[in-house]
Amino acid sequence: MSTADTARNVQGFLSATNRPRCGNCKHGKELIADRMPPFDTRSWRCTRGGFSVTAGAICAKHEPTLIARTASTDA
């Protein structure tokens, strides 16, 4: 482990994709409009609250998405 990795672990560093946010919450849902590019759009909705959000948004009710384990990840 490098010095930088050790410092990150000691500090409790989380990368942007590992922090709690709508993009990795079980209530966040990405929607893609089925239109011809460039008019296709991506948007995020909170299925718990029923409103539009951004993938980087966060609320006090964040629940992490559970990742299904497979035989290849159990090893």
Question: What pLDDT, on a 0 to 100 scale, did the predictor assign at position 75?
Answer: 47
Spatial strand order of the sheet with 51-53 comes to 28-32, 42-46, 51-53
- Global pTM reads 0.66
pLDDT per residue as tens digits for the range 20-73: 999 999 999 999 888 888 877 889 999 999 999 999 999 999 999 876 655 555
Characterize 37-52 residue by residue with b for buried, 16 or more Cβ atoms within 10 angstroms of its Cβ, and e for exposed: eeeeeeebbbeeeeee
What number is the average pLDDT over the span 3-16? Answer: 93
What number is the average pLDDT over the span 1-15? Answer: 92
- What's the number of CA atoms in the CB half-sphere (13 Å) around residue 42? 6
Q: Where are the domains of the chain?
A: 18-74
Question: What pLDDT, on a 0 to 100 scale, did the predictor assign at position 69?
Answer: 56
Question: What pLDDT, on a 0 to 100 scale, did the predictor assign at position 5?
Answer: 93
